[in-house]
Amino acid sequence: MLTEKDITPYLEERRGDLLRFAQLQLGDRQRAEDVVQETLMAALSGGKGFERRSQVKSWVFGILKHKIIDEIRRSDRERRLGDLAPEGDEVLVEQLFNRHGFWRGETRPSRWVDPDASLENRQFWQIFEACLTQLPDRTARVFMMREILELETGEICASLGISNSNCWVILHRARLGLRHCLSREWFEEER
């Protein structure tokens, strides 16, 4: 059983990772610091009965996600982005599709071998983070709100002050980019 004495230094070590995630989601260093602080305090007062660090980790990240969602809701419409053309990713679309809009031979998706097994692989997650980082900031942020914080599209659009269709375009660009990056950097390596 892990005790508070095991958990406290572990959380301190991981503070930077939490902060990086929070900052990407909130786009603001100070607010990120605040939610991470609240998260760590909640974690230290409530963490009981864990056997493994990996359990502590998912539990703490769960708290952080909720704190970030609360913060996003609190500051609803506070910092509207307004509709914008997707950032700098026309290049990506041209790289993936030919001028008729069909997959180029080398970019056509082929089957990912056993993605579930990859979830257990530490290197896979390093590649995943690197691929997320390659997305333009705003694209990554919208995508993570949708797929990692699991907010509904309507709420994301409202809080960022963008239209539904703009939101869908941004999510789509994120999927195209991330899928391509994971295929190239991970799944095709495996074959």
Partner 1 sequence: MMNCKHATRLLSESMERRLGPVEKGMLRLHTSMCSGCRQFGVQTRELRQICRAYTPMEADDDRDEDHHGR
Residues at the interface with partner 1 (CB under 8 A): 10, 14, 17-18, 20-21, 52-54, 57-58, 60-61, 93, 97, 100-103, 108-112, 115, 118-119, 122, 125-126, 128-129, 144, 147-148, 150, 153, 167-169, 171-172, 175-176, 178-179, 182-183
Distance in Å, CB of 73 to partner 1, minimum: 20
**Which stretch of DSSP H or E encloses residue 74?**
helix 53-74
Nearer to partner 1, 52 or 78 (CB): 52
For every residue of 105-138, DSSP letters joined together read GGGS--PPS-HHHHTT-HHHHHHHHHHHHHS-HH
Separation of alpha carbons 169 and 84, rounded Å: 10
Nearer to partner 1, 72 or 145 (CB): 145
Distance in Å, CB of 47 to partner 1, minimum: 15
CB atoms within 10 A of CB 80: 12
Distance in Å, CB of 30 to partner 1, minimum: 19
Nearer to partner 1, 78 or 129 (CB): 129
Distance in Å, CB of 147 to partner 1, minimum: 4
Nearer to partner 1, 97 or 158 (CB): 97
CB atoms within 10 A of CB 17: 14
Nearer to partner 1, 138 or 179 (CB): 179
Q: 29-46 and 4-26 helices cross at what angle (nearest 10)?
A: 150
User: CB neighbours of 21 closer than 8 A, spacing ≥ 6?
Assistant: 64
Distance in Å, CB of 76 to partner 1, minimum: 20
- Provide the Cα torsion 181, 116, 140, 35; round to 10°: -150
